[in-house]
Amino acid sequence: MLSKNIEKLLQDQVKKEASSSQVYLAMANWADVNGYPGSAQFLYTHSDEERMHMLKLMKFLNERGCQAEVPALNAPKKEYSGLMEVFKAIMDHEITVTASINNIITACLKENDHLTNNFMQWYVSEQMEEENLARSIIDKLEMIGADKSSLYLFDRELGEFQAEH
């Protein structure tokens, strides 16, 4: 059985992952109608991955004697000024998610809940990868600046990157 505190933290994390999925889905739609098909593909896939993160937590809660809750969510932001704003928002968002995961692990250590701690380690690695990826995309976008043809190639590359991963 999970403690009430750990259960609450995991249910809150379910909501954060669900919300991430919605945010990336809205970003994907924005990219799709604003001439960035590669980025849209990347973001649609990213949205699916976040749903998988949510489901993994739900299954864990169910297996540990709780019942996962499907959270109510606010509609995400629809409009962006460009890809830089999208990926900076992703970076900020993922930093918040990482802090939340670290917080769960701290609580697990305090309560000697090694099983949940062990389960959450997968999320720690995943967060590191996601933050690194967002950071490298922002670096590329900074180099590209306002150069439209480089932006076109970047978008195509991002779609290809997604197809390979």
Shortest distance (Å) from residue 17 CB to ligand FEO: 5
* Residue keyed to tokens 């699916």: 48
- Our finding on whether 94 is near ligand FEO (CB under 6 A) is yes
φ, ψ (nearest 5 deg) of residue 113: -95, 85
- Our finding on whether 137 is near ligand FEO (CB under 6 A) is no
The residue from 26, 58, 97, 134 that contacts ligand FEO (CB under 6 A) is 97
The residue from 7, 113, 130, 155 that contacts ligand FEO (CB under 6 A) is 130
- Our finding on whether 20 is near ligand FEO (CB under 6 A) is yes
- Our finding on whether 39 is near ligand FEO (CB under 6 A) is no
Q: Cβ closer to ligand FEO: 40 or 151? A: 40
Going by C-alpha positions, the residue among 157, 131, 153, 135 that lies closest to residue 144 is: 153
Reduced to 3 states (helix: H, G, I; strand: E, B; else coil), residue 82 is coil
Residues that bind ligand FEO (CB under 6 A): 17, 20, 50, 53, 94, 97, 130
